[in-house]
């Protein structure tokens, strides 16, 4: 019987630094982000720390889109939601 590694979760490959950078933001395909401990995840979900835990709570692509939409409309902040009903609920709160 083979011995299992300590961590069998998929690990992201780290790209080596390059002399160039993309002109547009990359598409982040991750749905879950690694945290150091549950307290860090809780602080990020509560908005006390920057970062992402789970893509339904926010992710880099939605954050960038919200920032661009806010700038386009001259607003202090923007929001990206998954449906029209979520947009209506966000507007009424």
Q: How sure is the predictor about 2, in pLDDT bands with cuts at 50, 70 and 90?
A: low
Instruction: Please give the sequence-ordered ranges of beta strands (E in DSSP) within the chain, or none if there are none.
Output: none
pTM of the model: 0.63
Q: Is 77 within a domain?
A: yes
Helix (H) or strand (E) holding 47: none
Would 23 be classed as within a structural domain?
A: no
What per-residue confidence (pLDDT) applies to 4? Answer: 52
7 within a domain of the structure (yes/no): no
pLDDT at 63 over 80: yes
The verdict on residue 79 lying in a domain is yes
With a pLDDT cut of 90, the percent of the chain lying above it is 27
Give me the number of domains the chain comprises.
Answer: 1
3-state secondary structure at position 36:
coil
Residue 18 placed within a domain? no
Q: Check whether 13 has a pLDDT greater than 90.
A: no
Task: Give the pLDDT band of residue 90 (cuts 50, 70, 90).
Answer: confident
63-71 own/partner pairs: CB under 8 Å, 24+ apart: 64/25
Residue 26, domain member (yes or no): no
Q: Which residue has the tokens 């979520």?
A: 86
Residues spanned by the domain of 59:
38-92
């Amino acid at each position: 019987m083979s011995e299992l590694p300590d961590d069998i979760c998929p690990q992201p490959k780290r790209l080596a630094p390059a002399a160039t950078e993309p002109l547009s933001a990359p598409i982040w395909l991750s749905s879950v982000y690694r945290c150091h401990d549950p307290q860090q995840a809780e602080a990020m979900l509560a908005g006390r720390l920057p970062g992402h835990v789970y893509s339904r709570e926010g992710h880099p692509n939605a954050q960038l889109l919200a920032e661009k939409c806010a700038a386009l409309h001259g607003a202090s902040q923007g929001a990206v939601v998954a449906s029209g009903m979520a947009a209506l609920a966000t507007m009424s709160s």
